[in-house]
Structure 1
């Protein structure tokens, strides 16, 4: 372990800002300014739909560089504070970064009778193989945040040794979906449910107006939805072959797949994450030796803001590059 790795390995919250809700909200205040101008590309999928890619620079000009792929959270995108912050950190490291937007998350509705969800790994699988075939076999890592972290863990468990990745990082992932869904219906966490549900409904309404008939309900029915579980019952499960939300949650939780992961992987959770419950914490001894699990006392949900008010520090932008560097910068 190098010195930088040791320096960045522990998280200390900003003094006076250890509250989980403050940590969860702080990145939106600290990262108001977008850190870089992305290079956009639209990638056509095998079924005729598309995903949009936001690169840290034109990939054709960076074929020699190590690469890091980011899979964002629920209704996230390049403009999410952690996304452009991490891409900028990777660019400063001399790496090529790219956000693969899930279907419908880049500002334009997707065309088909499907969206994305916590266990939908087909698009990530297609993209990662396309990346290698199109831009060569440079060392590549993937980082998944929140929903994207659960999806990435599912993918890694499904692929085992076949994943075309040198390493992976999973941040604030709801590895057991049903308990996390329950948590978002309790106490202060209901604020996050309302916020996320509003984003989902706005996105679904855009899709219905642009492509009528691509969702299994109409606008009045969509407007009546009041809980994330209702959304997953009415839309997510019905579009993707699950009997209901509970069936979806149980079949797409990544926790049971963690022992099958073969790629070196770092999992980061905050013990005070207001989206989570202790159910997402793996049992001691249940993880293979290639998975490093870090449970911090503080950090909230994808927060992890340290430093001071005058000089805030986004710990993930230090911790993740430092941990990935040995895998992406191997000397031949």
Structure 2
């Protein structure tokens, strides 16, 4: 009886993702013979997994279970990745283990709210992306951009990161482009990092140095999604407080560094935040992120809600001018509002799966004894198609120059980046003690 019930649940839950194209899809230039194709034909021919059924593991059929498994599951033995650390940038595969051509595509990854290069959802994409072609991988290079204070990155100023501040990403892209000027760069963002990637692509428009992007579990409208997160008892007391708890732990780890800036907003707010036993994500953002989540202007904001309004990526979606694939789950307990109409932007393809939770998408594949992330398949197909087939017009990218050892971009002379020195190898599965993963 149990096996019949399991089969019934599996068949009921299996659904083909809904893929949304606009009525006027953008036309893409391909490398081969400079051919032109529209983005719908490009996706339909390159990403067959998007048009196959997603079958959640029978014991992970709801969004809450999918999300909790992403947080509590043991992923230390799967999708193992080793990085070369250079400041906040984690490169893989390590240079000592493999030599790659300078034109090899590079996957540039932005992690979630309080995560980093160690997260299982990051490694689920990078492991097949960097694996050798004869082993079923893409053979690509990848770089995870760890946010300020995350994954061992030190705080050297009284500024954190946020869902809207894109200058750190902009500088990271300059740096990677400087190291590998011939390589096509492909952006992948998760949750908060997805929102950042969408904003970056919109701000850069046709001048983007990333030739394509993919966003997973993007929150899009931070106002509406935060309202939904705070209004439900379970979402407020479980998810919102869990995310705030992670951020408090992150602040706690950098107390000594923050103490070096006692007159800053971050320095003044930190003791207050750490004295509160329990807070929601909005509470944390109202105390810390709205004042220290980026440079001035536009920070500080009058309230967390003003910050959410400014940082929402859906309002900029119409300005994206490179191929962008977005995948969300319809039962994500953290993300409720998804702009499936894509602001009528022909460069954007929106996908909604039936089930999957927040950055979960777990299904049992073949003879595997543990669930794997379904989303890895379409993302890898997308990266392969974009990295190997798209023609990149680098002449449109905003140029940068050397200014006394700093890379400075045209129109952004107030920004600069330079080599931070090697930090050795890092095992990708080394988690942050005391932090809940997967968020």
Matches of 1:181 and 1:331 in 2, distance apart? 36
2:205 touches 2:319 (CA, 8 Å); kept in 1? yes
Across the two proteins, how many residue pairs are aligned to each other? 323
Report whether the alignment pairs 1:265 with 2:347: no
**Structure 1 residues 9 and 79, CA gap change in structure 2 (3 angstroms):** farther
User: Residue in 2 aligned with 1:281?
Assistant: 338
Does the 8 A contact of 1:34 with 1:79 survive in 2?
no
The one-character-per-residue Cα deviations of 1:98-153 (angstroms, maximum 9, x if unpaired) are 21101110224311110000001001111112111112221210001000000111
- Counterpart residue number, 1:46: none
CA distance in 2, matches of 1:252, 1:2: 32
1:19 to 2:62 alignment: yes
CA 1:174–1:58: 2 relative to 1, 3 Å? same
Q: Deviations over 1:2-24 (max 9, x none)?
A: 77721454422122321101111
Q: Given the alignment of the two structures, is residue 66 of structure 1 paired with residue 109 of structure 2, yes or no?
A: no
Alpha-carbon distance, 1:283 to partner: 5.3
Q: In the alignment, which residue of structure 2 is the partner of 1:251? A: 310
Change in CA separation of 1:313 and 1:34 when aligned onto 2, cut-off 3 Å: closer
Structure 1 residue corresponding to 2:281, chosen from 220, 225, 228: 228
Answering whether residue 79 of structure 2 is matched by residue 35 of structure 1, we say yes
- Pick the aligned partner of 2:210 from 162, 165, 183: 165
Matches within 5 A, 1:1-332: 5-7=47-49, 9-10=51-52, 11-27=54-70, 28-29=72-73, 31-33=75-77, 35-43=79-87, 51-58=88-95, 61-62=99-100, 63-92=102-131, 93-185=138-230, 186-189=232-235, 190-212=237-259, 213=262, 215=266, 216-224=268-276, 226-239=279-292, 240=294, 241=299, 242-277=301-336, 280-282=337-339, 284=341, 286-307=343-364, 310-330=369-389
Retained in 1: the 8 A contact 2:273–2:287?
no
Q: Say whether the 8 Å CA contact 1:160–1:262 is kept in structure 2.
A: yes
> C-alpha separation between the residues in 2 aligned to 1:294 and 1:2?
12
Normalized against structure 1, the TM-score is what?
Answer: 0.90
Deviations 1:149-202 (A, max 9, x none): 001111111110011122100110111112222233223223122221111001
Contact residue 109 and residue 144 of structure 2 kept, 8 A: yes
Give CA deviations for 1:278-331 in whole Å, capped at 9, x if unaligned: xx3215372311111001121100001112672523112211011221110128
Cα pair 1:54 1:98 within 8 Å, conserved? yes
Aligned mates of 1:29, 1:237 — CA distance in 2: 32
SS of the equivalent of 1:167 reads: strand
Q: Structure 1 331/19 Cα, relative in aligned 2: closer, same or farther at 3 Å?
A: closer
Runs of 4+ in 1 over 4 A off after TM superposition: 1-4
Higher gyration radius (CA): 2
- 1:58-110: CA deviations, max 9, x gaps? 39933332110110000011111111221111112111112110111022431
- List alignment gaps of at least 5 residues for structure 2: 1-42, 132-137, 392-439
